[in-house]
Each structure stands twice: as C-alpha cells, then as structure tokens.
Chain A
Amino acid sequence: MAREEAIFRIGGAAGDGVQSAGQIMGKTLSRSGLHVVTYLYYQDIIRGGQSWYQIRGSANEIKSQGDGLDILIALNKDALTRHTNPKINEGGASPLQGVAIFDKGISGYEAVDGVTYCAMPLAEIAAKYGSNKLMKNTVALGAAAAASGLSFDVMSDVIADTFEGKGDVIKQNQDAAKEGYDYFSQHFKKLEITLKTSNRKRMLMGGGDAVGLGAVMGGLKFYAGYPMTPASSALHFLASHASKYGVFVKLPEDEIAAINMAIGGNYAGLRSMTGSSGGGFSLMVEALGMAGMMEVPLVIYESQRSGPSTGLPTKTEQGDLNLVLGASQGDFPRIVLSPRNVEEMFYMTAEALNLAEKYQTPVILMSDLYLSENYATVNDLDLKFKIDHGERAKDNTEDFKRYLDTPTGISPRAIPGQAGLVHNEDSDEHNEYGDVVSDAVTDPRDRIRAMNKRMRKMETYIKSMTPTPTYKLDGAEYAIVQWGSTQGVVEEVVDALKEKGHKVGAIEINRPFPMNPDIGKLLEGRKKVIVVEGNYTGQFNRLLKSEFLVKTELITKYDGENFYPSALAGEIESVIKR
C-alpha cells in the first residue's frame, strides 16, 4: 500500500530562503485539504550554517513531525549529502528515501540507495523570469509539488498570496514554479505516495500566532514583551496586528519593565500580558511575586528553549518547569498551564486571561520552541468566548476592603478611577484594607489570615478544574504521562505500540500546577507509569512523584530536538520489556 503521507524537507544555509519556501509548501498542503505539521531546524545565525524546514502532510490526522523523508529540496551540496546520509539522525531526523531535487550545478556527491536524484536547471529556469536568485527555490517548489502529485493550481494561489502587493513578482514566481512543475513531470517519475487532497482548505497556524490570536479573543488590550526566541513569534503576531485588534504592544527597556508594565496595565483594569523565554522570565521573577502578593491579575507566556543560560537559543526543551514553579520568594497562588498543541494554545491563552482575572493571581502559560515556532493545521475554531472579569466591587461600597476575607479567597477588585473605593495595594503584607502590617507591630493573626486567604484561591481553582485529558487509557497496563508539547508524538507512539499489541495509553497534562487530584486515580493499577519529557532531570516526573507517591519510569531527551515517534516508541518498548 502506498504511503498516505508525504514528508518534505527543504535544506540550505540561513539566508537561502529555507523558511519562506517551507511556508509556501506548508500552505499548499493545508489548502489541499491535508493535515500539516511543520518542523524547523535552524541555528542561531542570520546567514550561513545549515537549516532545514520539514513539512509533513496527510489526509489522515497527523500529530507530530513524523518519521521518514520523501522529498528533499537541497539548496546546496551540504544539504544534499547531509539529508541523504543514512546516518543523519539529527536529533532523530530520518534520512531521505525518495526524491532529491537540486540544481544541476551541484556535483560530486555520492549516490545513496533509495534516493532518486533529480538534478534540475533550477537557477537557469529562475533566471528566465527574474533576477532574484531565491526564485530557484520557487522552481524547486513546483518540482516538489509535481513529485508528490499535488495539483499546481493550489500552489499557484499560495504564491500569489505570499507575494501579494509585489506586482510582477507574483507572476514571475508563478511562472517559475510552473516550469519547475512541468520540468519534473516531463523528466522524472512521481513518487509512489497517495495524498488524498480535497477542496476543504485547512487553517495552518503557528504556535505564536495561536497565542496572539487567543489573547485577542481573551480581550487582551496590552502586551509588553522583550524579544527572545521562541517567545518572539507571539510578540511579532501581536505587533503586526496591533492596530487591527486594538492591542497596544510595547517593547520596553528590559523584561523587568515588561512584567511591571503588564502588572500596571492589569492594575489599571486593562487585560495585559507579558511573555519571554526562560532567560527573560528569570528577570521577571521578583515582580511575579509582587503580582501574587498584591493580587493583580497577570498572564505570562513562557516559551521554553534549551538552557541553561543562553543554551541552545534555537532548540526546544521542557526544562523551565522548576523555574516556573519556584520563581519568586514565599508561597503565593499561581496557575501553570501547558497547552499540548497549537489549537490548544489558542483556547488556553484566552482562558489564561480569564483565570488571571478571576483568581487575581499570576497565570503562566508554558510552551516551548517546538510549539511556538512550528506550524500545524487546526480545526475550525470556536470564537464564542465569554470574557469574565471576575468579581468587581461596586462604586461607593461601604467600608470597602480590597482584600476581603471570603470563603473562596477571592475579593472583589476595584480599579483606579472608581468612586468610593480608594485604597492601597501593597507588596508588603497587608490587612483586608490593604494597610501594611509589616512595618509596625506585626499581628500574627493578620499575617495568617492574609496567607490563608490568598492560598485559598488555589483550593477554589482546583475544585473548578476539568478532568485531566487522556488518550486511549482504558485498559492500559502501561500509562505514558506527558505534559505540554509532546502530546502529538506520544499519541502517535501509543497508536503504533497498540498496533503491536502493547496495552498502552496516555495521561496528558495541560495543567501541570496546581495538579488535578484526578491524576491520582488515573495512575492507579498500572503495571508501569512512564513519564516522557524533554529535559535532563525529569522535572515533571519529580513533581508527579511527590504529588502522588507513584513509582515511575522516566524517558528524557535534551538534545534540543523534539521526540521522534519511532525512536520514542523503541524506548518505551524497552521500558515495557524491562
């Protein structure tokens, strides 16, 4: 049976237009009704080096970057030899078994079995239509479309949209791509794969876009953020849509200013948010606790990359959980969310804004480079969202207590400008009115009441939590536990292992803190609990074990790349057999 999916990879140096070409390919697939997952492998440089962009497409639902490689567009010789090398295995990436498309000027490579070498006059064709050298990529894209049996029309439309407003460039690229398409059809054989295309266009969305768009749905008015990969994709989406969506976007002097601005905005009554990666988040730590103490709503988008320190700036990791859980002195309520896929990033960002305002405390939305920088097709989005500002005090409330001790721990908020509610909000410990109880003679009863009141909000939140999501867990003897971005790969592994007769299922954590007590029940009675996460020490594993006193097996990855399905399946199998 022919493979019902295609994995494309475009390899070249930074500055070669790898990413732009990849995006055209991705959109061509999603507009052809296919599910798409993209995977970007790049280095922390602007020019040179080696980067590649992989696009996986299928009519079947796909959830990860996948295994295998069917069609390679090699923009230089290095890319050609690298991706055909059976030992490539860059973080788990597969070598090519299929078609290699490259310029006929590339020579002297060693041919590898299973690869059809399609040397084409890419540069020559491109030169016929314009002077931009990057147009040879477009020729190659046309050839790749032919190789996979896609219709040219969809790609032609995508090119038109990509170069919208650039006049002749549209036609030049369309013609170049068409000639690439025709040239391939005339000289080479289409791959033996079946892509069941349809007229249904699917949306292809980046993780950062989903955060930005979700924030808009959640009523965001102000985003203060300092650039840092991989959190910048959300910042860029919001900045480029600021006027349209009425969101004020500010890049301030540093991350400390960014979080303090977001806190100021929320204090003034605007839904405000900040975001960064681990380095920037580290700078925000002191202010995080202030928001917790003063009970100011706050959403922080924290997108992880490989640490420690500057680490691998363009590589993924799930190594910031300890940081996020332990950030800032003292105990205060915090909610940590870890959306599992691009679509969930959209919904959870909106939800985070509601949670922050409802519980008047920091909500940290955790992602990682794999989710934030890659694109995936999403289902139709439900745009009906109710903005819930939480409890607000009415003007001229008699004897107003900003920090009123209530059974839920939540006190009605007042914002500046409201009449008859003037009060002080303080990073010092305070009583129900907001008056400081730290500097004068501290009354232990005030302190205990204030702590209990704030921490009670966590109990209230836990009671409201929806059931923890699972995947094919019924009857599973082996429970795989994942959190955040590894959902897709873990589900594909579950499917593959089930097919081989293993009784496996998955517990999926999109709310790592506070933990939902229902996880305890889900863990019960399993032969083995296998935790899969992308860091060295097993930060989530430790949390899970301490919460539920469960024995676990741990599988980690910290080479900067996401888990790959076949490699992970092998690791899990060996744990099962152990």
Chain B
Amino acid sequence: MVELKDYKGHVAPDWCPACGNFAQLTAMEKSLTELGIEPKDVVVVSGIGCSSNLPEFIHAYGFHGIHGRLLPVASAIKWGNPKLTVIGYGGDGDGFNEGTQHLYHAARRNVDMTYIVSDNQIFGLTTGQASPTSPTGLKTKTTPDGSVEKPVNPMTYALSAGATFVARAFSGDPKHLQEVITEGIKHKGFSFIDVFSPCVTFNKLNTYDYFRKRVYKLTDNDRKDFQQAYKFAEEWNEKIPIGILYQVDEERYDQVDPVVSQGPLIDREPYRLTQEDLKEFL
C-alpha cells in the first residue's frame, strides 16, 4: 500500500513562496499515490530551470539533467525498462527553446511517458528573461521595451507533432491539475501536459488572477476529435480551456520496434557471440 508520505522528499523545495511548482509537486505525489505506484518504480527526469529542480524534492528516482534534454533521456529509460513510470518535468524555457525538437520527436514516437511543463512564461532561475511562451509586449530583463516575438503555442505544437494525450492545467486549480496528471500517467502513450504556473517573482502579468479570470474547464469534449482539439488549442486571450483536449490510443514506438517489442531490454541476457557468428566474415 503506497501512502502519500512515501513520496515526501528529504530536501525541502527551494522555490519562492506561492510558486506554481508547489501545486504540481503535490499533484504529482498524490496522483502516483492514488495509482498505487511505488516510488522505486518512478523516475522523474528534468532539465534545467526552477521547476527542473523538482526531482530532488520528491522521493522517487530522480534524474536532473541539462537544459532542454530531458525527453531523450526519459525516452531511453522507458524503452529500456518499461516497468518504470517515467515522468518528464521542466519549464517552458527548457521545453520550448532548447527542447523543442525533442518534444516533436518524442511525441511522434508516442513514448509511453508523461511530460509535464511548468509554464510560467518567463525564465525564472536566470532571474527573469523572456521565454518562448512570454506574451508579446512582456517587459523582461532582455525585453525592457516589451517582447516583440509571437509566443509559441505548445498545444498546437504537441498536437501537430502527434502527441496522443494533450492537456492543459493550472496550478491555481490543484484538484483539477491532479486529475489531469492522473489521467496523463494512466494514458498508454506520450502524455503532454502544459501547466500554467505563475511565477510570483518575475512575471507580473501572467499571475494567478490573470489565469483565474480566463481559464475554463473542458468537461464533455470529444477527446478523440482532432479538429475540435485543435480549435481549443488555439483559444487564447479572453477564454482559455484547461483539461484534456485530445486523447487517442495509438501504437507506440516500443510496440513496433523489432527489438524493443520483444520484451524489457533490462531483463534480457546479453547475446553471447559464438564462432558461428564470425562466419559472415570468412
């Protein structure tokens, strides 16, 4: 029997008070507990950023790597040992700048893992520079006159890449956030969850209040309807949907690769060469 306390890390989070990451850490712990998954069977892989410090704060196997590269690491862990529950966790800078291409390819490979992005629309750890999701006009240390770039849309990107589970949540609604994360972990395939996670220190625009006024929950949408999901993904400004936009069952890479599909690589004895194998060189 797994209990919530089993996931409590022995290091206290170093995030600013009221940081959106706290709600995600708690939601993750609760979801894993509810699903009865033991901490020893969980690997949390992260990149670099405030949110990416999370593996240290949860009692699970943690891999705190380098900026933007968590998805290739996580993919290989899952392919090698499918018994593990693999969660990728990082920020918008990590995932949508240096990690952009990895997201595209992990999604199309339908790796059986959950990728949660703590999206605060700013660089926090490096003290407040414009991130790929910073809204146009946002004044930051690197955009003192306001950002002139169009922000990326993680939802349409994940959808077009072929993610089989695309969802959005909000740290200001922890119960709903946890429901979405639970569904994401349960989903057999690549689950992408973009979480609005206000940065209380550096982003004075995209605050808890900002999102509370705008978000609404999807309840009875047809999750299999790609076109509809895409429309929800494009909604922005006044009304922003949260919840599961899209979810389908599709073949995963590990089910079709001729080697990986033969069973967990981790459990297989390595091949022992014999003289017979050398005949091809004669």
* A261 lies within 8 A of B75 (CB): yes
* B43 lies within 8 A of A287 (CB): no
Question: Which residue from chain B places its CB closest to the CB of A286 in the assembled complex?
Answer: B66
Q: Which residues B58-91 have CB closer than 8 A to chain A? A: 59-66, 69, 71-77, 79-81, 83-84
Complex CA distance for A393 and B112, rounded to whole angstroms: 28
Chain A's nearest CB lies how many Å from the CB of B44? 9
Complex CA distance for A232 and B67, rounded to whole angstroms: 28
User: A246: CB under 8 A from chain B?
Assistant: yes
How many A-B residue pairs have C-beta atoms within 8 angstroms? Tell me. 182
* B14 lies within 8 A of A420 (CB): no
Q: Which residues of chain A have C-beta atoms less than 8 A from B60's C-beta? A: 422
* A261 lies within 8 A of B72 (CB): yes
* B76 lies within 8 A of A246 (CB): no
User: A134: CB under 8 A from chain B?
Assistant: no
Q: Which residues of chain B have C-beta atoms less than 8 A from A201's C-beta? A: 282
* B257 lies within 8 A of A248 (CB): yes
User: A419: CB under 8 A from chain B?
Assistant: yes
User: B260: CB under 8 A from chain A?
Assistant: yes
1/0 per residue, CB under 8 A from A, across B188-219: the answer is: 00000000000000000000000000000000
Interface locus among B149-157, B162-170, B273-281? B273-281
User: B20: CB under 8 A from chain A?
Assistant: no
Interface locus among B134-142, B173-181, B262-270? B262-270
Question: Which residue from chain B places its CB closest to the CB of A243 in the assembled complex?
Answer: B258
Q: Which residues of chain A have C-beta atoms less than 8 A from B11's C-beta? A: 435-436
Known: A267-B77, A436-B56, A439-B14. A252 touches B72 (CB 8 A): yes
Question: Which residue from chain B places its CB closest to the CB of A375 in the assembled complex?
Answer: B281
* B72 lies within 8 A of A417 (CB): no
* A287 lies within 8 A of B270 (CB): no
Q: Which of A217, A248, A424 has the most CB atoms of chain B within a 10 A radius of its CB?
A: A424
* B273 lies within 8 A of A217 (CB): yes
* A424 lies within 8 A of B56 (CB): yes
Known: A263-B73, A268-B84, A424-B55. A248 touches B79 (CB 8 A): yes
Chain B's nearest CB lies how many Å from the CB of A403? 13
User: A272: CB under 8 A from chain B?
Assistant: yes
User: A407: CB under 8 A from chain B?
Assistant: no
User: B223: CB under 8 A from chain A?
Assistant: no
User: A211: CB under 8 A from chain B?
Assistant: no
Q: Which residues of chain B have C-beta atoms less than 8 A from A267's C-beta? A: 63, 73, 77
* A424 lies within 8 A of B273 (CB): no
Interface locus among A48-56, A100-108, A219-227, A304-312? A219-227
Report the contact-size class of chain B (Cβ under 8 Å from the partner). Answer: 35 or more
Q: Which residues of chain A have C-beta atoms less than 8 A from B265's C-beta? A: 221-222, 246, 248, 270
User: A423: CB under 8 A from chain B?
Assistant: yes
Question: Which residue from chain B places its CB closest to the CB of A220 in the assembled complex?
Answer: B270
Chain B's nearest CB lies how many Å from the CB of A272? 7
* A272 lies within 8 A of B76 (CB): yes
Q: Which residues of chain A have C-beta atoms less than 8 A from B256's C-beta? A: none
* A425 lies within 8 A of B63 (CB): yes
Interface locus among A68-76, A202-210, A464-472, A556-564? A202-210
* A426 lies within 8 A of B271 (CB): no
Chain B's nearest CB lies how many Å from the CB of A375? 9
Q: Which residues A463-519 have CB closer than 8 A to chain B? A: none
* B40 lies within 8 A of A246 (CB): no
Complex CA distance for A205 and B277, rounded to whole angstroms: 13
* A260 lies within 8 A of B72 (CB): yes
Complex CA distance for A436 and B274, rounded to whole angstroms: 46
Q: Which residues of chain B have C-beta atoms less than 8 A from A567's C-beta? A: none
User: A290: CB under 8 A from chain B?
Assistant: yes
User: A121: CB under 8 A from chain B?
Assistant: no
Question: Which residue from chain A places its CB closest to the CB of B69 in the assembled complex?
Answer: A260
Chain B's nearest CB lies how many Å from the CB of A230? 19
Question: Which residue from chain B places its CB closest to the CB of A201 in the assembled complex?
Answer: B282
Q: Which of A201, A253, A269, A378 has the most CB atoms of chain B within a 10 A radius of its CB?
A: A253
Complex CA distance for A222 and B80, rounded to whole angstroms: 8
* B72 lies within 8 A of A216 (CB): no
User: B102: CB under 8 A from chain A?
Assistant: yes
Question: Which residue from chain A places its CB closest to the CB of B263 in the assembled complex?
Answer: A246
* A242 lies within 8 A of B40 (CB): no
**Of the candidates A216, A383, A417, A426, which one forms a contact with B64 in the assembled complex, judged by CB atoms under 8 Å apart?**
A426
* A420 lies within 8 A of B40 (CB): yes
Q: Which residues B32-71 have CB closer than 8 A to chain A? A: 39-43, 45, 48, 53, 55-56, 59-66, 69, 71
Complex CA distance for A426 and B66, rounded to whole angstroms: 9
User: A256: CB under 8 A from chain B?
Assistant: yes
Q: Which residues of chain A have C-beta atoms less than 8 A from B262's C-beta? A: 246
* A381 lies within 8 A of B64 (CB): no
1/0 per residue, CB under 8 A from B, across A423-445: the answer is: 11111100000111001100000
Q: Which residues B1-43 have CB closer than 8 A to chain A? A: 10-11, 14, 39-43
Q: Which residues of chain A have C-beta atoms less than 8 A from B10's C-beta? A: 435
User: B252: CB under 8 A from chain A?
Assistant: no
Q: Which residues A121-163 have CB closer than 8 A to chain B? A: none
Known: A290-B65, A424-B64. A248 touches B102 (CB 8 A): no
* A418 lies within 8 A of B81 (CB): no
Known: A256-B69, A265-B80. A425 touches B270 (CB 8 A): no
* A416 lies within 8 A of B259 (CB): no
User: B105: CB under 8 A from chain A?
Assistant: yes
* B56 lies within 8 A of A435 (CB): yes
Chain B's nearest CB lies how many Å from the CB of A204? 6
Known: A416-B81, A426-B62. A221 touches B74 (CB 8 A): no
Known: A209-B281, A268-B266, A381-B278. A417 touches B41 (CB 8 A): yes
User: B97: CB under 8 A from chain A?
Assistant: no
Known: A243-B258, A417-B40. A427 touches B84 (CB 8 A): no
User: A455: CB under 8 A from chain B?
Assistant: no
Question: Which residue from chain B places its CB closest to the CB of A265 in the assembled complex?
Answer: B76
* A269 lies within 8 A of B80 (CB): yes
* A268 lies within 8 A of B101 (CB): no
Chain B's nearest CB lies how many Å from the CB of A418? 7
* A248 lies within 8 A of B275 (CB): no
* A246 lies within 8 A of B270 (CB): yes
Q: Which residues of chain A have C-beta atoms less than 8 A from B84's C-beta? A: 268, 416-417
**Of the candidates B45, B80, B102, B275, which one forms a contact with A270 in the assembled complex, judged by CB atoms under 8 Å apart?**
B80
Known: A264-B80, A267-B73, A383-B274. A257 touches B64 (CB 8 A): no
Complex CA distance for A31 and B279, rounded to whole angstroms: 12
Chain A's nearest CB lies how many Å from the CB of B6? 9
User: A254: CB under 8 A from chain B?
Assistant: yes
Which A residues fall within an 8 A CB radius of B?
30-31, 201-205, 209, 213, 216-217, 219-222, 224, 242-249, 252-254, 256-258, 260-265, 267-272, 286-287, 290, 294, 378, 381, 383, 387, 416-428, 434-436, 439-440
Q: Which 8 A-B pairs have the closest CB atoms?
A: A264-B76, A424-B62, A260-B72, A264-B73, A219-B270, A203-B281, A416-B61, A257-B72
Q: List 17 A-B contacts (CB under 8 A).
A: A209-B281, A222-B265, A261-B73, A261-B75, A262-B76, A264-B63, A264-B72, A264-B74, A264-B80, A265-B76, A265-B77, A268-B84, A294-B63, A416-B42, A417-B40, A424-B62, A439-B14
